[in-house]
Chains A and B, each alone.
Chain A
Amino acid sequence: MKPAPFEYARPGTLAEALSFLTVDDAKPIAGGQSLIPLLALRMAAPKLLVDISRIAELKGVEFGSDYIKLGALTRWCDVLKNPQLAVQHPLIVEAIGHTAHYQIRNRGTVGGSCSHADPSAEMPAVAVTCEAQFEIKSLRGTRIVPADEFFTSVLTTTLEPDELLISIRLPSWPSDRRYAFQEFARRVGDFAMAGCVVFWDEEDGCCVNPHVGVFGVADTPIRVRDVEEVLVNRPVTTNVIVEAVSTLQRIVIPLDDIHAPSAYRSALLGVLLERALLSASSCQRGQTA
């Protein structure tokens, strides 16, 4: 047994779970695909694990008139197997196709990934780029936090110890939106060295409402508004793409780590943005390249 000892509770309702989370040094566990390795390496050693994995209130995908709501317990395999999601939010399905491996996708959850806040993870990047809203609850009440305020640093979020991420709400997705998701990892399913998410709507051949997000290059996923400003109200031509890439490389100076130095990541990020813009601009409306 590699983890340090802990007590275990498996509440059946959200109210019970929130009550357990007020205990000193309690930590929620859902799929555990990020938390259990941390426990095994003793990078985390909570006194109490609150197993939220069987709480029905946290499950399911809801399609509203102007939003799509993912319950925190939505697993990667649930996203990938949801035919409605494939039509109503193809970007998220494409992004999650890069997340981890088959076995991990059977347990890992969207809420767990966002709460864990790995800077290289796909779901947080999609949430930030798509302006998702995070619904957070504790016994003290409910608050809604925009994704770009939720992630504060490496493995760090705005969640207080007694709070639980309940759901992630994404704005609805127009069916003819142009989009692309690009990442690079040395092995399939590994955390990306760098990645980017782009989408925009097209009007009269021009790019409107552009959104550009990058991940794996900073403490948190980030939206790069300077690049969006390069794209807005212009046709996405080769010259515009070159300008967007150089703007990105000027604005975002990636971090160094053991996997790659900053300069390498910067070059990689530029290539990924170029590929993403090319693929999104050349594909038929509503189709991915």
Chain B
Amino acid sequence: MTDVAIGLTVNGQPVEVSIEPRLTLATLLRRHLRLTGTHIGCEHGVCGACTVIVDGDAVRSCLVFAVQADGTEVTTIEGLARGEDLSPLQAAFQKHHALQCGFCTPGILTTMHALLNEEPNPSEDRIRDVLSGNICRCTGYLPIVEAVLEAAAAYRKEARS
């Protein structure tokens, strides 16, 4: 099949690749760009592990073909930390033990980062509703919700400034 040339921005870096149209964004990130922080779980849109942020929206990267991301700005889990420091959301996850095995964590962090950027003051119900798109089999979600509620303060502060 004919390869397609695309250009996109990933974590602030310009990327130009030529790829098969059937390549998902998840596989482009992991295999071609070696950004293996994005995890592939179910590969058909059920588990949420592969969530990345495309033009500000949290999306499942297994349900986006890489060609569809042509011209977009993509943020992956690797783009969340601020230099060597954890982002406020990541730091809150560490503090609250909001991860155990860590497989679902990149997808949850990207999802919650997109949510808090758009809605920096979500209720616990809203967080739980959004979290329903991410499967975590270790934590039972309680520490995740606590971490997100705490981290929201940093996003509110950023929204004000």
Contact = CB atoms under 8 A, between A and B. Distances in A.
Given A33-B45, A102-B115, A51 B67 contact: yes
A285 interface: no
B133 interface: yes
Nearest to B27: A1
B59 A103 contact: yes
A77 interface: yes
B111 interface: yes
A104 B59 CA distance: 6
Contacts of A2: 43
A32 B68 contact: yes
Interface residues of B, number: 31
A103 B67 contact: no
Interface string A1-17: 11111111010000000
Which among A8, A40, A104 has the greatest number of chain B C-beta atoms within 10 A? Answer: A8
A37 B24 CA distance: 11
Contacts of B63: 32-33, 36-37, 104, 107
Interface in B1-51: 1-2, 4, 20-24, 27, 43-45, 48, 51
Interface in B54-83: 57-60, 62-65, 67-68, 70
A7 B59 contact: no
B23 A8 contact: no
B45 A37 contact: yes
A240 to B, nearest CB: 34
A107 B64 contact: yes
A1 B20 contact: yes
Interface residues of A, number: 31
A104 B133 CA distance: 8
Which among A100, A101, A187 has the greatest number of chain B C-beta atoms within 10 A? Answer: A101
B60 A104 contact: yes
Given A101-B132, A103-B48, A188-B132, A36 B57 contact: no
Given A40-B43, A104-B60, A32 B23 contact: no
Nearest to B126: A102
B44 A10 contact: no
Contacts of B62: 36, 40
B21 A103 contact: no
B130 interface: yes
Interface of A: 1-8, 10, 29, 32-33, 36-37, 39-41, 49, 51, 53, 77, 100-104, 106-107, 187-189
Interface of B: 1-2, 4, 20-24, 27, 43-45, 48, 51, 57-60, 62-65, 67-68, 70, 111, 115, 129-130, 132-133
Closest 5 pairs between A and B when the two form their complex, measured CB to CB:
A101-B133, A8-B21, A106-B57, A37-B44, A5-B1
28 contacts: A1-B22, A1-B24, A1-B27, A2-B43, A5-B20, A6-B21, A10-B67, A10-B70, A32-B63, A32-B65, A33-B60, A36-B24, A36-B64, A36-B65, A37-B44, A37-B63, A40-B44, A101-B133, A102-B111, A102-B132, A103-B48, A103-B60, A103-B111, A104-B63, A104-B133, A107-B63, A188-B129, A189-B133
